[in-house]
Chains A and B, each alone.
Chain A
């Protein structure tokens, strides 16, 4: 309040020189005019021009401000008040004169707010993008990728897809006789799993499902996967079971149905990692273009986005 009255009075005190200045400017402007308005005396049009050009700086006490000039005693007291006030804020006034309304504090605040907003919007944008990816396959009805299955794990125990609920699962399809791609991808998966596990232990379960059930029995899977990571879960089953799982995951595979013992063959199959959410719905496919670090980041971002329940 005190500052507003002081600034008002300051503008009042400043009004006089400003008025003369403006008037002289207006006169100069009017002088070269060949036909000045005949009825206009020299002073009133200037006043009018001043008041119309800038009503806020009007030198005359406008009717909207009916406050009378203070009486001499109160005037003196306001003067004293003003002097005290000025003395107190002379530094501020000086710096304000020099830099306007900007100070280093305002600058820092401005930059910090801007940076925070940029960060926030970028963060939100990425989150929404992930949400869109994750929910693209969430829908009513039958899941597009993935689904229920009943297989056998690498210990020879029956394994139901319900046991994967409550955590993310990273599903990879392959076979133990795979020449070059699967071993590389499984090493990558081990690295990925370690990176995720370091930050969110127990959030993701890596699963290997064989496309070659005729040769990959539980014992073979166990010794094969142990070379990559102890945490991998290996799954096998009958030819029909595996065929159904591959179909559900939209995995192309070319395993011959009736193989004679000792016959060697290779299996063509899709080479994606399928990230499934804790409800068993497909989230995203990670391919060979992702480095383990990139893939781990994608997985961790989805894990952090998850608002549903987790397995205790």
Chain B
């Protein structure tokens, strides 16, 4: 934890830099962040919370997933936390839309263009 610019250790300093976005996380730090994110999202799943940034979702998350949320904030850059929470909502909407399309029996249409891979590589 930073206190008037002093840090208890290099490790803490590095973590703080990652959190604020001054330094890009390395492979292990990314892994830690992703693991923290996954356990936070598992907690949200158990509470049926999709949008942890929305007014009701935020309250629910703070009430039931406080510990996971803290770990998430600790291990990830602040920008990443917001990004992951937003992309969770986007993923959910995407899945819902796809399911709706499936229900409406819309057939899949293969659109091919010059940028697509040749058929043999699919």
A interface residues, Cβ below 8 angstroms from B: 126, 129-130, 132-133, 136-137, 176-177, 179-180, 183, 215-216, 220, 223-224, 227, 262-266, 284-286, 289-290, 294, 297-298
Known contacts A179-B80, A265-B79, A266-B79; is-contact A126 B118 (Cβ 8 Å): yes
Whether the Cβ atoms of B118 and A179 lie closer than 8 Å is no
In the complex the two chains form, what is the Cα distance from A266 to B21 in whole Å? 9
Q: Please provide the chain B residues from 97 to 122 with a CB less than 8 Å away from any CB of chain A in the complex.
A: 114-115, 117-122
> Inside 8 A of A290's CB, which chain B residues have their CB?
117, 121
Tell whether A285 pairs with B115 under 8 Å between CB atoms, given A177-B21, A179-B80, A265-B79. yes
* Nearest chain A CB to B77 CB, angstrom units: 6
Q: Which of B24-32, B55-63, B64-72 contacts A (4 or more CB under 8 A)?
A: B24-32
Q: CB-CB < 8 A to B122: which residues of A?
A: 294
Report how far A223 CA is from B29 CA in the complex, Å.
14
**B3 interface residue per 8 A CB criterion:** no
CA distance A300 to B26 in the complex (A): 31
Residues of B within 8 A of A180 (CB): 34, 84
Interface centre among A137, A264, A286, A294, by most B CB within 10 Å? A264
Q: Find out whether the CB atom of B24 lies under 8 angstroms from the CB atom of A224.
A: yes
In the complex, which residues of chain A have a beta carbon less than 8 angstroms from the beta carbon of B80? 179, 266
Q: How far is the CA of A223 from the CA of B23 in the complex (A)?
A: 12
Contact of B21 with A265 in the complex, beta carbons under 8 Å: yes
**A264 in contact with B24 (CB, 8 Å):** no
Check if A133 sits within 8 Å of B79, measured CB to CB: no
Q: What are 11 pairs between A and B in contact, CB < 8 Å?
A: A129-B118, A130-B118, A176-B24, A179-B79, A179-B84, A223-B26, A224-B26, A262-B21, A263-B21, A264-B77, A285-B115
Query: Cβ of B24 and Cβ of A133 under 8 Å apart?
Result: no
In whole angstroms, how far apart are the Cα atoms of A133 and B117 in the complex? Answer: 9
Taken together as a complex, chains A and B put the C-alpha atoms of A264 and B83 apart, in Å, by 12
Given A133-B114, A264-B78, does the pair A227, B27 have CB atoms closer than 8 Å? Answer: yes
What are the residues of chain A within 8 A of B117 when measuring CB–CB? 284, 286, 289-290, 294, 298
Task: Please indicate the chain B residues that have their CB under 8 angstroms from the CB of A289 in the complex.
Answer: 117
Question: A129-B118, A290-B117 given. 17 additional CB < 8 A pairs?
Answer: A132-B114, A137-B114, A176-B24, A180-B34, A216-B24, A220-B24, A223-B26, A262-B20, A264-B20, A264-B21, A264-B78, A264-B79, A266-B80, A266-B83, A290-B121, A294-B117, A294-B121
